[in-house]
Amino acid sequence: MAVPKKKTSKSKRNMRRAHDSLTAINTIVCENCGEPKLRHRVCGACGQYRGRQVVETEAAQL
């Protein structure tokens, strides 16, 4: 079984963890309804993508 020969210092441990942080999700505003949405995805609120109605939603049916 592999066992470390020396204790890993706080500096080395934190340098290893430097790339593990979470990043914020980039959202844009839908041109039709103004709701935030992910890029290159259909808007969940109005069902439009690039100016075309792609998905029927309950809000569009009313």
d(CA 50, CA 59): 18
45-53: Cβ within 8 A, 24+ apart:
none
The total of other beta-carbon atoms located within 10 Å of residue 37's CB is 18
Position 59 scores a pLDDT of 63
User: Is residue 31 a contact partner of residue 51, using CB atoms and an 8 Å limit?
Assistant: yes
pLDDT digits (tens, 9 = 90+) for 3-62: 999 999 999 999 999 999 999 999 999 999 999 999 999 999 999 999 899 998 876 566
